[in-house]
């Protein structure tokens, strides 16, 4: 590898070139001769070259070059800022990998000013700052700022070597549970789609299963098939809590498989594991890494409301991939695509224990908003809670806002001391949920943060202010799905307290009734 001599006296930290004029390789392919990214004496100043990176033809991979393990840990299937790599991989190593075709680099922003990491091209989500590195007023993307700043002089680094290499490794599935007929059909559907992957460039499908149908168990056989044919699998979910819940279940099912769990605050986020369980936000750091991408709760916030997360998941998938949408509440557009045959889909309308879904009842609470401002709880809700208390039932009481929760919590705690309240910013949230699971808390007031992914045996469910606009159709279906999940107590009670029935409430009830009326084939 050529190393150009750099005169430190001439370095300003703003205009360091990455490579020299073009040269021809043995196969007549033209690529640049790469030079050091920075001077050794000025390692803090790393900037892009004058030449446009979009026209660069990088060297082919040198099969004789020995891959650095530390570099592979961080870059297999990932695209990171150079600044993120430097604490772990020195510039000399990055330079060598770059010269041997194992690393590609890109400008953080396109010539049109769009962010290459998150796809943001909205000028309202862009800003500028006086850049210490390039000595200019530099543009940067605010949409993905929480993952590290991507600016006009940022360098994105991605690994370009073979990311599979799992064909020689066996990944036995040791889960010994029994699938219902509906689960079995869904499992076969997924396995068939994975088997077809090698014959098509890319495809997508929908696995629509009601709350409590056992969606995770439906995935096991398909994931086993993918792993044992050398495919990399991603299970992406919008929320950290769900990642933490899924990780031990997958580790138990695949004890000989290396599994990475990626979420904000995780101790180690490996990029080279054959099976990755991750929040959708973390996919902003992956690039062309996965053959099978399973998006759990595709309709959930923030994934359903944030275009950059959809972009991130698509960027994490390889060119030839299978994208699986997994949800109990697909949106209207997805339902229409499935009904017209534009999106291959399978529906599992019953829970694994074969009992019907609890249908919510509507209970009118006059002017609940005005009463709650003063911390008062409508009498009908108190009466309902008293009945639950007498029957020794645990209760999820969902409220639309944190403000409302804090307002009514003291009043409920006066009458029912074993009551707690949780919301997203509550520092004791995990502890309170754990005590609720163990039965030490009888009533748990919560915002919609617990509408998904939480299973408590025998819990009853109520929604205070179900007519609030924050309770969408999908949210109400998910909330109702917290009840009756156990085969020992499948007839949980669900009550929507309201001051006027909304369209979302009516549609949620109709969707649950429709699923109950569906005849599951073979059962």
Compute CA distances 464 → 27, 325, 479, whole Å: 71, 30, 12
**What per-residue confidence (pLDDT) applies to 519?**
54
**What per-residue confidence (pLDDT) applies to 416?**
96
Instruction: Give the mean pLDDT of 160-170.
Output: 62
Highest mean pLDDT among 102-116, 127-141, 413-427: 413-427
Cα torsion 303, 307, 308, 312 to 10°: value is 70
Contact 59, 25 (CB under 8 A): yes
288-341 pLDDT, tens digit each: 889 999 999 888 777 777 889 899 999 999 988 999 999 998 988 898 999 898
* Cis peptide bond N-terminal to 302, omega within 30: yes
The larger pLDDT score, comparing residue 38 to residue 443, is at 443
**What per-residue confidence (pLDDT) applies to 165?**
45
Instruction: Indicate the pTM of the whole model.
Output: 0.81
The larger pLDDT score, comparing residue 58 to residue 208, is at 208
Which region among 68-77, 79-88, 448-457 has the lowest average model confidence (pLDDT)?
Answer: 68-77
Question: What value does the mean pLDDT of the chain take?
Answer: 83
Q: Among residues of the chain, what percentage have pLDDT more than 90?
A: 47
**What per-residue confidence (pLDDT) applies to 267?**
62
**What per-residue confidence (pLDDT) applies to 32?**
45
Confidence band, pLDDT 50/70/90 cuts, at residue 7: very low
Nearest to 44 by CA among 120, 128, 132, 153: 132
Q: Reduced to 3 states, what is the DSSP secondary structure of residue 80?
A: strand
Confidence band, pLDDT 50/70/90 cuts, at residue 8: very low
Helix boundaries (H) for 345-427: 368-373, 379-390, 402-415
**What per-residue confidence (pLDDT) applies to 30?**
44
Contact 365, 380 (CB under 8 A): yes
363-397 pLDDT, tens digit each: 999 989 888 888 899 999 999 999 999 999 999 99
Helix boundaries (H) for 209-239: 215-228
Which region among 114-128, 157-171, 206-220, 244-258 has the lowest average model confidence (pLDDT)?
Answer: 157-171
Instruction: Give the mean pLDDT of 3-12.
Output: 33
263-293 pLDDT, tens digit each: 887 765 566 789 999 999 999 989 988 999 9
**What per-residue confidence (pLDDT) applies to 177?**
86
End-to-end Cα spacing for the chain: 67
Which pairing describes strands 202-209 and 79-81: parallel, antiparallel, or unpaired? Answer: unpaired
Count Cα neighbours of 473 within 13 Å in the Cβ-side half-sphere.
15
Compute CA distances 69 → 72, 73, 164, 270, 520, whole Å: 5, 6, 15, 12, 50
Rounded CA-CA distance 323/201 in Å is 12
Contact 220, 175 (CB under 8 A): yes
Highest mean pLDDT among 305-309, 346-350, 460-464: 460-464
DSSP letters for 291-336: EEEEEETTTSTTGGG-HHHHHHHHHHEEEEEEEEEEESS--HHHHH
**Strand-pair partners of 23:** 31
143-156 pLDDT, tens digit each: 999 888 999 888 89
Rounded CA-CA distance 93/386 in Å is 67
Q: Among residues of the chain, what percentage have pLDDT more than 70?
A: 85
Q: Which secondary structure element, helix H or strand E, spans residue 189, and what is its range? A: helix 181-195
477-514 pLDDT, tens digit each: 999 999 998 888 888 999 999 999 999 999 999 999 99
Rounded CA-CA distance 490/479 in Å is 15
Does the pLDDT value for residue 12 go beyond 80? no
**What per-residue confidence (pLDDT) applies to 70?**
75
**Structure tokens that stand for 276 in this block:** 């990755």
Contact 79, 158 (CB under 8 A): yes
**Structure tokens that stand for 336 in this block:** 């229409």
Task: Supply the DSSP symbol for 109.
Answer: B
Instruction: Give the mean pLDDT of 63-68.
Output: 81
Residue 202, Cβ density class (10 Å: 0-12 exposed, 13-18 middle, ≥19 buried)? middle
Rounded CA-CA distance 173/166 in Å is 16
**Opening angle at CA 210, ends 278 and 300, nearest 5:** 40
Q: Reduced to 3 states, what is the DSSP secondary structure of residue 512?
A: helix
Backbone angles phi, psi at 486, to 5 degrees: -90, 140
**What per-residue confidence (pLDDT) applies to 76?**
81
Rounded CA-CA distance 344/330 in Å is 13
**What per-residue confidence (pLDDT) applies to 487?**
86
Residue keyed to tokens 């557009």: 333
Nearest to 252 by CA among 166, 176, 167: 176
**What per-residue confidence (pLDDT) applies to 190?**
95
The larger pLDDT score, comparing residue 89 to residue 364, is at 364
Rounded CA-CA distance 429/446 in Å is 10
Confidence band, pLDDT 50/70/90 cuts, at residue 57: low
């Amino acid at each position: 590898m050529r190393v150009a001599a750099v005169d430190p006296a001439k370095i300003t930290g703003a205009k360091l070139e990455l490579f020299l004029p073009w040269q021809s390789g043995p196969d007549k392919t033209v690529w640049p001769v790469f030079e050091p990214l920075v001077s050794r004496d000025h390692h803090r100043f790393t900037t892009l070259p004058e030449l446009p990176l979009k026209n660069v033809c990088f060297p082919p991979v040198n099969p004789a070059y020995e891959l650095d393990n530390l570099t592979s840990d961080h870059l297999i299937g990932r695209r990171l800022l150079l600044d993120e790599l430097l604490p772990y991989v020195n510039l000399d190593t990055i330079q060598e990998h770059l010269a041997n075709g194992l690393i590609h680099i890109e400008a953080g922003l396109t010539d049109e000013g769009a962010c290459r990491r998150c796809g943001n091209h909205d000028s309202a989500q862009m800003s500028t700052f006086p850049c210490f590195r390039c000595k200019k007023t530099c543009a940067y993307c605010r949409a993905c700022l929480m993952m590290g700043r991507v600016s006009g002089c940022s360098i994105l680094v991605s690994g370009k070597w073979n990311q599979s290499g799992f064909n020689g490794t066996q990944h036995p599935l040791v889960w010994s549970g029994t699938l219902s007929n509906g689960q079995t059909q869904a499992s076969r559907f997924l396995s068939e789609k994975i088997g077809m992957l090698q014959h098509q460039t890319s495809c997508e499908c929908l696995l629509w299963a009601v709350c409590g149908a056992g969606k995770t168990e439906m995935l096991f056989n398909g994931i086993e098939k993918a792993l044992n044919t050398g495919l990399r699998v991603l299970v992406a979910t919008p929320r950290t809590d769900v990642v933490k819940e899924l990780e031990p279940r997958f580790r138990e099912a695949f004890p000989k498989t290396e599994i990475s769990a990626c979420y904000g605050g995780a101790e180690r986020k490996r990029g080279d594991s054959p099976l990755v369980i991750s929040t959708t936000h973390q996919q902003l750091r992956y690039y062309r890494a996965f053959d099978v991408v399973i998006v759990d709760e595709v309709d959930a916030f923030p994934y359903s409301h944030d275009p950059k997360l959809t972009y991130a998941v698509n960027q994490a998938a390889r060119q030839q991939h299978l994208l699986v949408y997994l949800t109990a509440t697909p949106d209207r557009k997805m339902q229409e695509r499935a009904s017209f045959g534009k999106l291959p889909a399978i529906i599992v309308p019953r829970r694994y224990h074969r009992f019907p879904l609890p249908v919510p009842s509507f209970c009118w609470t006059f002017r609940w908003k005005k009463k709650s401002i003063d911390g008062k709880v409508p009498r009908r809700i108190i009466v309902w809670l008293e009945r639950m208390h007498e029957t020794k039932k645990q209760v999820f009481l969902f409220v639309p806002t944190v403000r409302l929760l804090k307002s009514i919590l003291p009043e409920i705690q006066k009458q029912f001391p074993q009551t707690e309240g949780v919301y997203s910013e509550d520092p004791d949230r995990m502890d309170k949920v754990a005590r609720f699971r163990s039965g030490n808390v009888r009533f748990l007031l919560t915002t919609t943060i617990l509408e998904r992914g939480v299973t408590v045996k025998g819990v009853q469910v109520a929604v205070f202010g179900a007519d609030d606009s924050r309770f969408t159709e999908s949210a109400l279906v998910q909330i109702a799905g917290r009840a009756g999940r156990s085969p020992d107590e499948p007839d949980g009670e669900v009550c929507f307290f309201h001051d006027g029935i909304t369209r979302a409430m009516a549609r949620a009830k109709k969707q649950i009734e429709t699923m109950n009326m569906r005849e599951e084939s073979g059962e």
